[in-house]
Amino acid sequence: MEQQNMSDGIDQYFSTTGQLLDQVLTAQRQTMVRVAESWTELIQQNHIIYTFGSGHSRYIAGELYFRAGGLAPIMRIDDPAEGGAERIEGYAMNFVGKYDIQPGDSLVVISNSGINPVPVEVALAGKQMGATVIAVTSLTYSQQAVSRHSSGKKLYEVVDIVLDTMVPKGDAVVELPGLDWRVSPVSTMVSVAMLNAIVAQTAWNIAASGKQPPVFISANVPEGDAHNQRMVEQYWRRLTHYPLRQIQSG
């Protein structure tokens, strides 16, 4: 048996993800710029950005919420079933209406495949409430899959803007010797990179206009608690899950 390099799996993952990130930057740059311009405008008009993901995608949605280095006016929509009811049509109506989504707000819905009823219905509800709805999804993956919603629609077909992660079908990218399936997914890494890049550009845009962008800073620096408390007090009336005392930003 041929001797395997001790870092074959590591090298393959880093090589593949690096190439994918380069491709996404080239193909999606203008869409990311468009989203950042939209967020810049809505923040300056005192609107809110909502994020939602079901199942594993909820961790991507959580990356933007109450995050050191992140934008303050972002609210995560929680899935009470944590993905366990993602395929049940009508389930989203049990929780999405509890959030104060208003015309002029932005709603980011994350689903790599984009075929399950819950993310589709959250997106539809957001549009009905007047928000600009953005999908973070893989068109490569979604266009090869069958919708599980009775409408036959997939997430990318019901939103205003699509951020295409370009993730391959199946998500995992590292090939294993002697096996037909792969390991090590890339959708989380690419999605988080795209969204944090948009956060960076949004904050850059606001700062370039001569205003201070509403961002959280680490609670582990001396001025962190006082600064973050001011952000909380500015937005807490709409971001009702924010604590008002003993705040921490990780």
What would the mean pLDDT of 180-198 be, rounded to a whole number? Answer: 96
Residue-number span of the structural domain to which 23 is assigned: 16-205
Stronger pLDDT, 195 or 228, i.e. the higher one: 195
In a domain, 237, yes or no: no
In a domain, 98, yes or no: yes
CA gap 140, 168 in Å, rounded? 6
Q: What is the CATH number of the domain that holds 155?
A: 3.40.50.10490
pLDDT (0 to 100) of residue 212: 94
In a domain, 155, yes or no: yes
Q: Specify the pTM.
A: 0.92
In a domain, 62, yes or no: yes
Examine the pLDDT at 247 and tell me if it is beyond 90.
Answer: no
pLDDT (0 to 100) of residue 241: 56
Count CA atoms within 13 Å of residue 202 on its CB side: 28
What would the mean pLDDT of 53-82 be, rounded to a whole number? Answer: 94
* Averaged confidence pLDDT in the chain: 92
In a domain, 247, yes or no: no
Within its chain, how far is the Cα of 209 from the centroid? 26
Of 26-30, 157-161, 227-231, least confident by mean pLDDT is 227-231
In a domain, 213, yes or no: no
Domain count along the chain: 1
CA 123, 124, 126: angle at the middle one, nearest 5?
A: 65
Percentage above 90 pLDDT, the chain: 83
For residue 59, what are the CA distances in angstroms to 38, 78, 141, 220?
23, 10, 20, 23
